[in-house]
Structure formats: structure tokens, C-alpha cells
Amino acid sequence: MNSFKTLTTIAIFAFAAGVAQAQKLTLDNAVQLATNNSKQLKLATAKVDAADAKVDQNINSFIPQVTLNANYTRLSDNIEPFTITIPGFGSQVLNPQILNQFTNRLSIQSTLFGGLRNQNNLKTTQYLEAAAKLDAEKDATDVRFNAISAVLNLYKGQQTLKLVDENLKLADTRITDVTNMYNAGTMLQNDVLRTALNKSNLEISKVDVESGISTANYNINILLGQGETVVNSFDEASLFPPAEQKPADAWIKDAIANRSDKKAADTRSLVYQAGVKNARTGYMPTLTAGFNYYYNNPNQRIFPQQDAFKATWDLGATLSWNLTSLYSSGALVREAKQNVIQSQLTSTIIEDGIKMEVNGNYNAYSVSKAKIDLAQKALDQAIENQRVVKNRVDGGINLQTDLLDADAFVFQGTDKLAKR
């Protein structure tokens, strides 16, 4: 008996796991989930982190290079020492055979002046990091826009499905009325068939709408990073917040000032301007300084050599100037200047695109508002027409087909409003 209960419980949970779960969200909830689970934004964050690492690399280029070298060498013992006799001093060995040799050196090298190459490289990477962050902001905006569009697309499909279901109920009522009238001999069979055809057309529309809803719901689940079987619905009040009313010029001005893609293009223009300065460093000399500390056995600077560790050091500066680069750097500077021109033109092209996009969207918004008002007016007229025709059909003045046409006008009107 216990085994049966256990199996039953397992079967119930397995069935529940396969059943779609319903959840209701606000638009803000959906946008937040899409942002938190966006692979596109994670990729953008990785790019920002990589750009930040590049900045650190260039900061490290200002740090003096410190190196430590240690070496041990064992010499062969088949070399005879060279001995000379000096009166009054006796025999002296000029090359004592020290078979175990140790060389230890600590070096510090630093570039005192390199034509400001390191400074310009640092500025370049800092600008690139800023551009990467702006790209990430643009990606975040795109993710939010895609999430809102997907939610509204699903909402319109769900509203259309409600409309189709209501019209199917009305179609059933019409079929019942026509069938009763046909049985009473006051209606033709053709009217019955046409009424049934109207319902069939609605059922076909319902299949299409349900397919669109299924696709939209699946896409939203992918965007939100949740289970593919979750059935989503949304709080209607959150979908239509009050819209800010401004003229088209004001929207265009705000977009140019705040759009991340425009800011990123402007920042990349600064990158290329720094590139011009970097190319000009080829005209300049390089000054480096170095310090070496030796602790060797034997120390080559001590004569005669001794089998003992001795410390010595040296300090110096080097000035180098590639005179050929005074000529060859000119081509690099010209290329860098052309890159600046291209980046500035790219920014201008993006600005023009923003103007056209915002102006087009503003006009589309204005047209949609006007169409909504007209569609509502047409729907009110269709409903009144439906009421009048229904009364005339009931009074035997109009045909049943006239009522079906009136029903179709109402369906078309409500469908237009649902899709706006």
C-alpha cells in the first residue's frame, strides 16, 4: 500500500513538472529579468573588463622594470695558470683558475622620455574603455527595447485571442438562432451554411492567433531566462504608463545628447585623436636610465681575480634617436589623421540616423494615436450598426446575411484596436 502511495506521489509530481506554469508579471519585472539574464549584456561586461585590463597594462608601463639574474658556471680545469716573476714581488699568477663562477645582477631600467608614447597609449586605452562602457549601455537599451516589444507583441496576441473567443461565442449564438429559424421555415439553408462558414473562418483565425501567442511566449521565456513552458501574462496597467508629450525637435535633441551609440562614436574619435599624437612620437628621441648591482664570484672588475663574492654597481643613461623615423613617421601621422576624419564622419552619420529614426518614430506615434481615435469611432459606429441590423433582422426587414456583415464590421474594428 505504501509503495502504491509512493508511486502515485511520484507520478503526480512528474505530471506537474510537465504542465506549463502560469505567471503574471509587470512590464518592469519583465525588463529586469531580461536584463539580468541577457547573454548579450554578459558579453558586453566581459568586453568592458577586457578594456579595463588594457588600461592597467598601460599604467604598468610607467613602472620601472626590475629584473634579477643569477648564473652559475663551472669551468674546465685544463687551463694552466699564467705565472710571471717580478723582482722584489716573487711569482704572480695573472689568471687564477677559479672553476666555480657565480654571476648575480639586479637591474632597474626606466624610460625617462619616450616621446609621450606611454601617456598617449594610456589615454587611448582609457577612451576605449569608456567606449566599451557606452557600448554596454547601448546593449542594455537594446535588451530593454526587445523585452518591451516582445511583451507588447504577446499582449496584443492575447487580446486578439480574447476577441476571437468572444466572436466565436457570438457565432454560436447566431448559428443557434439561424438553425431555429430554419427549422421554423423562416430561414433558408444557405443562411445556415453561411453562418457556419463565418464560424469556421473565426476558428481558422484562432489557430493563427494561438500559434502567434505560442511563438511570442516562447521568445519571451528565452529573453527572460526562464523555463520554456511558463505561460506569461502581464499586468495591463504597467504596460501603458502615461507618455511624456514633447515636440519632435525636443525628442531629437535628447536622443543626440543621450544616445549611447552616439557617445561611443564620439569617444572613439578621441581614440583616433590620441593616435595622431602617438604617431608623432616617432619624431622624438628616447631617453632611458638604468642601474645595475652586481654580486659576483669572481668579480671581473677586480684584478687580479679572487675566489670571493664582491659587490659592484653601475649607473647610466641612454639617448637614442631613430633618425630614419623623422621621414617614415610622416606616413603614420597621415594615416592617423585620416582615421580621425573617418571617425568624425561616422559620428555624423550616426547622428543623422538618430534624427531620421526619432523623427520617423514620432510621426508613426502621432499617426497611431490618430488611427486609434478613428478606429474607436469606427468601432462605435459598427456596434451601433450591428444593433440596428439585429433589430431589423428580428423584425424581418433585413436578411441574416446583413447581420453577419455587421458582425464582421465589429470584429474588424475591435481587431484594429487590439493591434494598435
Grid coordinates belonging to 240: 501603458
CA dist., res. 312 & res. 293, Å (int): 6
Output the pLDDT for position 420.
Answer: 56
Residue span of the structural domain in which 267 resides: 21-68+114-287+329-418
CA pair distance 196, 410, nearest whole angstrom: 18
Q: Is 245 a domain residue?
A: yes
Residue 343 contacts residue 268 (beta carbons within 8 Å): yes
Work out how many domains the chain is built from and give that number: 1
Stretches where the chain sits below pLDDT 70 are 1-20, 393, 396, 398-404, 409, 411, 413-420
Q: Domain containing 187 — which CATH number? A: 1.20.1600.10
**CB-CB contact of 150 with 142 (8 Å):** no
Q: What pLDDT does 252 receive?
A: 92
Indicate the residue type of 230: V
Position 101 in a domain: no
Grid coordinates representing 316 are 647610466
β-pairing, 100-113 vs 286-296, is antiparallel
The pLDDT assigned to 47 comes to: 93
CA–CA gap between residue 82 and residue 95 (Å, rounded): 6
The closest alpha carbon to 263, from 353, 358, 135, belongs to 135
pTM of the entire structure?
0.76
Q: What is the grid cell recorded at 164?
A: 476571437
CA nearest neighbour of 219 among 208, 228, 206: 228
Count of CA atoms in the C-beta half-sphere (13 A) of 97: 11
In a domain, 96, yes or no: no
The confidence score (pLDDT) of residue 339 equals 93
What's the CA gap between 32 and 144, in Å, rounded?
8
CA of 20: how far to CAs of 93, 161, 218, 228, 251, in Å? 97, 19, 12, 9, 42
pLDDT in the model for residue 344: 93
Residue 79 lies in a domain: no
Beta bridge partners of 74: 100
Name 248's Cβ contacts closer than 8 Å, sequence gap at least 6.
358, 359, 362, 363
pLDDT tens track for 12-61:
444 344 455 778 888 899 999 999 999 999 999 999 999 999 999 999 98
C-alpha 408/C-alpha 228 separation (Å) is: 36
Number of residues assigned to the chain = 420
- Could you tell me if residue 342 is inside a domain? yes
Contacts of 409 (CB under 8 A, 6+ apart): 382, 385, 386
In the prediction, which pLDDT does 288 show?
Answer: 93
Contacts of 23 by beta carbon, 8 Å cutoff, 6+ apart: 230, 231, 232, 233
Distance between CA atoms of 335 and 341, rounded to whole angstroms?
10
* pLDDT for the residue numbered 154: 92
The answer to whether 311 and 290 have CB atoms below 8 angstroms apart is no
Residue 324 within a domain: no
Judge whether 154 and 217 are in contact, CB under 8 Å.
yes
Nearest to 165 by CA among 416, 419, 411, 399: 411
Kindly tell me the sign of the dihedral angle through the C-alpha atoms of 242, 245, 249, 253: negative
